[in-house]
Amino acid sequence: MNFRILLSLGLAALFVFMYVPVALSHPHVFIDNTIKILFDQHGLAGIRAKWVFDEFFSSMIANDYDRNRNARFEKAEIEMIRKKAFSNLANFGYFTFIKINGRPFKVKYARDFSAALSGGKLTYAFFVPCHVKAISTFKELRISQYDPTYYTSMAFAKKRPVILEAGSGFNINYRISKNMEEAYYYDQIHPVEVILRFKLKDG
C-alpha cells in the first residue's frame, strides 16, 4: 500500500472520529413549543409551556400509554405518562432555561402537567413557577427551551409562539432573539430566547 493511500485512509479515519458525535446525536424528536407568560398581582408568576411533538414520537407514546386504543388519553393514562415519561425531565430542568437580570434561575419542578392526542400529534402542557416581583424599574428575564444534548430539537411555534397573560398594572414588552453569546451541543447551536422586560406602571 503506497503512501498516498495510507494518508487518505488516515485522513478519512480522522474525519470520522471528529464528526461521530455529530452524526450519532442528530435530533430524533421534534417539538414545536409555545410559551404563555403568566402574571399575578405582584409580578411574574411563571410560564406555561405547550409542546407539540412530531408524529413519530407521538405514535410511540400513544402506543405505550393509550391502553384502550381510543385515540385519547384518560386521566389514568395521563398520570402514567407523567410518572414514567415526563417526570424524568426534572433531571434536565424540563429543558427550560431562565435568567433573571442575568442570573440563572434553576428550574426545580413543574406542575399542572397534562397530555393530549389530537390529529396524530402528542401535546404536553405544564407550568413552571418563577415568581419575580415587579418594581418601578424594568426587570429582564431571558427564557429559552432546548435540549442541550440535541437529541430533541425544539423550535418556537410559527403562530403565536409567545402569549402574555397579565393584568393592567404592568408595563411589559418582549422580543424573540437568538443568543449569539451562548451555544450548546459542541458550541454549534445558539439558543433562541424570549427576552421579557416588565415593571410596575408609573403612577
Would the pLDDT of 9 be above 50?
A: no
Of all residues in the chain, the percent with pLDDT exceeding 70 is 87
The answer to whether 153 and 27 are in contact (CB under 8 A) is: yes
pLDDT tens digits for range 112-143: 999 999 999 999 999 999 999 999 999 999 99
Amino acid identity of residue 68, one-letter, is N
Span 58-97, pLDDT tens digits: 999 999 999 999 999 999 999 999 999 999 999 999 999 9
CB atoms within 10 A of CB 48: 18
Instruction: Read off the pLDDT of each residue in 166-170 and give the average, rounded to a whole number.
Output: 92
Q: Which amino acid is at 151?
A: Y
What domains can you pick out in the chain, each with its CATH number?
A: 25-200 (2.70.170)
CB 115 within 8 A of CB 78: yes
Please report, for residues 48, 103, 110, 173, the alpha-carbon distance to residue 43 in angstroms, rounded to integers and kept in the order given.
15, 18, 19, 14
> What are the Cα distances from residue 83, in Å, to 42, 89, 128, 173?
32, 10, 17, 36
pLDDT of 188 over the 60 cut: yes
194 and 142 in contact (C-beta within 8 Å)? yes
Helix intervals (H) in the chain: 3-24, 55-65, 75-84
Closest to 50 in 3D by CA, of 31, 32, 34: 34
Mean predicted confidence (pLDDT) in 42-58: 97
**pLDDT for residue 167:** 87
Condensed to tens digits (0 to 9), the pLDDT of residues 74-85 reads 999 999 999 999
**Residue 98: is its pLDDT beyond 90?**
yes
